[in-house]
Amino acid sequence: MSHHIDVSSLLRKSVCELYSNLVTRPTGAAVRCEIEHELDRIGERALTVIDFSHVKLLDYSCADEIVAKLLLQYVSVDAPRREVYFVFRGINESHMDAIEAVLKRHDLALVSQLADGAARLIGDIGPDERLAWETMAKLGAAETKEFASASGLEPDSAEKMLDTLWRRRLVIRYDGGYAAVGTRTFATLPTTQH
């Protein structure tokens, strides 16, 4: 199931009704706490759109508090809180420097949805992972065997790559295969994982 969280409305709710700038670490922490409360209500597995469309200014400290600290809770190899996938919408050029800096610092990547609906990866992502994600994005959803054929990877290498992308929450794993985050409606995928 897909959920939408408007960051600017949470900012106005938690900080000030007339405020649309995300500056200072305490402001970012307050907004992240509001996002976490929303996420606590959605269950163990979901796709969540984090919408920055109405945020005018985002500084480094808020990007770290909201984007990096939020992702770190769900992209853990050891024990993520839940299986939550994110698509970040409305990231504009004025937000990009801060977001890219915190993603690189924490070894993270995310899926950003562009104005035309297309998805792209931003952050710290190697060329092999990027190519694999782009291949899966073209396929939409596929079993490992189909992905291996399309990517030119051996089946074992394809499985390892898909597992890496899944652990980074860049692809969704479900019974029968994988789907690239941001390219397919999560609600249409089976709710159980293999």
Q: What domains are there in the chain, each with its CATH number?
A: 1-124 (3.30.750), 125-194 (1.10.10.10)
pLDDT at 8: 81
Q: CB within 8 A of 49, min separation 6: which ones?
A: 2, 3, 4, 5, 86, 87, 88, 89, 113
pLDDT at 20: 59
Q: Which of 133, 171, 186 is nearest to 4 (CA)?
A: 186
Sign of CA dihedral 144, 77, 43, 4: negative
Q: Which of 111, 143, 141, 109 is nearest to 126 (CA)?
A: 109
pLDDT at 175: 86
Q: Which of 47, 46, 16 is nearest to 31 (CA)?
A: 16
Task: Dump pLDDT digits (tens) for 173-183.
Answer: 988 799 999 87
Q: Which long-range contacts (CB under 8 A, 24 or more apart) does 132-138 make?
A: 132/161, 132/162, 132/165, 133/165, 133/170, 133/171, 133/180, 136/162, 136/165, 136/171, 136/178, 136/179, 136/180, 136/183, 137/180, 137/182, 137/183
pLDDT at 17: 47
Q: Report, as ranges of residue numbers, the positions in the chain whose pLDDT lies below 70.
A: 1, 12-22, 76-81, 184-194
pTM, full prediction:
0.86
pLDDT at 194: 35
